[in-house]
Amino acid sequence: MRAAPITDPVAFHGEGPVFAGGRLRFVDMLAGDVLTLREDGGVDRERVGDVVAAMRPRVNGGLVLGLERSFALQDADGTLHVLDPVVPDGARFNDGGCDPAGRFWCGTMTDDEREGAASMFRLDPDGSVHHVFGGVTVSNGLEWSPDGSRAYYVDTPTRRIAAGDAELRDRRVFARVEDGLPDGLTVDADGGVWVALYDGGAVLRFTPEGTLDARVEVPDGGRVTACTFGGDRLYITTSREGLGDDAPAAAGAVFAVDPGVGGLPARTFAG
């Protein structure tokens, strides 16, 4: 399969796509912007901070976000409430998502990508923040199985997708990636796991048993960062970061493909 661009190169470092309320949203991470795809293929851009790593819809409207070092809540009217910083100096949030209980998980990386120095945090609907675990290097893609019993997680330098229980305990190797670095991931309605390959020019699908069974090429897309489903369509974000003048023409664009399987509704933050 081959994905095709559906936008111009609209992001320097596109990440964190989510489809909810009939629209695709994603982040231009290092610009601190949330982007919303319009029907004409353009995007509306809203700045929310110096960095925005991840966001998900809130159950009653608005967004929950992982900014550079803080969680934030945006109301339906656009009012932004930034919580106290939880990420230490020299590190930042990098990717995250909501679990079936409506909690927002977001992992970190250090500025120097120091091995084992990053962590996973969780914002609960009551506003409490929890340090869930440490010992990771570049915390990345995160999603749950259709029945919510299993979580899939990427610590990029390991070149592995890990699987654990719903609380990300008892993590084991689910699948290994040889061609490129695993980045953001999503899960389809059949339980298949789709992972973006940073520096790999593709998205891979693994069966619930961990067997590679599909590959989506992302031609001229630069660095492939993340993916999500909107109905039967798979949306893929890309990046120009670090590519300079040699960046492919479509780097930073959003790509899409209809892979023959549908996705799950976006999980929302319950607070």
Active site residues: 183
CA distance 3 to 113: 30
CA distance 271 to 266: 15
Contact 163/206 with Cβ under 8 angstroms? no
Could you identify the residue written with the tokens 């803080």? 70
Residue 188: count of CB within 10 angstroms of its CB: 20
Helix (H, G, I), strand (E, B) or coil at 7: coil
Contact 12/31 with Cβ under 8 angstroms? yes
